[in-house]
A = this chain, B = another copy of it.
Amino acid sequence: MPQKDDFSLQDFTPYLLNQAAEESSLAFQRVYKNRYGMLRTEWRVLFHLGTYGEMTATDICTKARIHKTKISRAVQKLVERRFVVRARSDEDRRVEKLKLTPAGDTAYRDLRAVAEEYDAKLRAQFTSGEVALLRMMLKRLAGLESAE
């Protein structure tokens, strides 16, 4: 008869983080999925280009910590849908600079508005001090110390 340890699965940080991440992503996922037929990597690429401006695929890989094959496929989809255009760089012809089309920018702004409202709703459950602390802790756990 195995005597119980005080280990609690619900308090295991990676597990709890995953539960919170999944649950808190659900409603937003429904929007980009139903409204634009996008996948997770696709909205992330869209948002990177929307918030940071022109970037290369590798820039997005680094910043978003997503593997290059996923980025490659997401970019293809976004280009097909005319949300993104690519342009070979003149200095280095391996590189392609990515940016949003006007249609892509419209989609980005639409989703960004949803994201802002949605995030405000999530934050409303807590005090602003709690939110600040949460962000600090999550950034440290994510390995996003200040820079990057």
State the A residues within 8 Å of B (CB).
2, 5, 7-25, 28, 44, 47-48, 51, 65, 105, 109, 112, 115-116, 118-119, 122-123, 125-126, 130, 133-135, 137-144
Which 10 residue pairs are nearest across A and B when measured between Cβ atoms? A17-B21, A19-B142, A20-B141, A20-B142, A20-B138, A21-B21, A14-B25, A18-B21, A14-B24, A23-B142
Q: Which of B115, B123, B138 contacts A17 (CB 8 A)?
A: B138
CB pair A115 B21 closer than 8 Å: no
CB distance from A61 to the nearest CB of B (A): 14
CB pair B134 A122 closer than 8 Å: no
Given the known interface contacts A19-B144, A141-B20, the answer about A11 and B135 at a Cβ–Cβ threshold of 8 Å is yes
Given the known interface contacts A17-B24, A21-B14, A105-B2, the answer about A140 and B112 at a Cβ–Cβ threshold of 8 Å is no
**Across the two chains, which residue of chain B brings its CB closest to A29?**
B14
CB pair B135 A133 closer than 8 Å: no
CB distance from A42 to the nearest CB of B (A): 14
Q: How far is the CA of A44 from the CA of B22 in the complex (A)?
A: 15
CB pair A9 B142 closer than 8 Å: no
CB pair B5 A65 closer than 8 Å: no
The interface residues of chain B lying within 8 Å CB-to-CB of A18 are: 21, 25
The interface residues of chain B lying within 8 Å CB-to-CB of A8 are: 51
CB pair A122 B141 closer than 8 Å: yes
**Across the two chains, which residue of chain B brings its CB closest to A40?**
B18
The interface residues of chain B lying within 8 Å CB-to-CB of A15 are: 44
